[in-house]
Amino acid sequence: MSTFEIQKRTLSQVTVIEIFGELDAHTAPKLEEEFQQLIRQKNVQIIVNGSGLEYISSAGLGVFMAYIEDIRSHGGDIKISNLKPKVYNVFDLLGFPTLYDILDTENDALEQFQDNT
C-alpha cells in the first residue's frame, strides 16, 4: 500500500505543509482534504515542502491543479519547495514551473510571500 503523511505548521501567516511518502491516486484524497480545510479556514498562503516526497503521479499533481485557482482567488497561493529532482521532473513534464512557484528551499518560498505583502 502507498504511504503518505502530512505535517502542518504555521510560519508567520503562512501554512507550511510538509509531505512525506508517495502521492498517487490512492493517497491524493489526503492532500485534497488538507487544501479544502485550509480554504475553509482562509489559510490560503501555503507552502508545500516536498523534501520527504518520494514519488508523485498525475493524480497527485491533479490536487495542486484543482485548488490553485480557488486559493489564488482568495488572495493566496501554493508555493512548492524542496522537491527531490526525480519528483521535480514530473512537475516539469506537465509544465508546472510556468504556472506555479517552485523554489529550492522553504525559506525562498517564505520570502516570496513576504515580498508580495
Partner 1 sequence: MPTKIVTTLTEHTSRFRASTDALGEIRKFVSGQARQYGFGEEDIDDIRLAVDEACTNIIKHAYEWRDDKYIYIRIAMHNNEMLVSIYDNGKSFDAGRYSVPALQDQLDQKKRGGYGIYLIRKLMDKVEYRKQRSRNEIRMTKKR
Q: Given candidates 48, 61, 83, 102, which one binds partner 1 under the rule CB under 8 A?
A: 61
Asked if 94 touches partner 1 (CB under 8 A), the answer is yes
C-alpha cell at 40: 475553509
Which helix (H) or strand (E) is 67 found in, with range?
helix 58-73
Question: Residue 41 or 98: which CB sits closer to partner 1?
Answer: 98
Asked if 95 touches partner 1 (CB under 8 A), the answer is yes
Which 20-49 positions form the footprint of partner 1 (CB under 8 A)?
22, 24-26
Asked if 62 touches partner 1 (CB under 8 A), the answer is yes
Q: Given candidates 6, 11, 39, 90, which one binds partner 1 under the rule CB under 8 A?
A: 90
Q: How far apart are CA 79 and CA 107, in angstroms?
A: 11
Asked if 59 touches partner 1 (CB under 8 A), the answer is yes
CA 116 to chain centre: 18
Taking CA atoms, 108 is separated from 11, 83, 97, 104, in Å, by 13, 13, 15, 7
Taking CA atoms, 115 is separated from 1, 92, 108, 110, in Å, by 41, 25, 10, 9
Instruction: Give the residues lining the site for partner 1 (CB under 8 A).
Output: 1-3, 22, 24-26, 55, 57-59, 61-63, 65-70, 86, 89-90, 93-96, 98-99
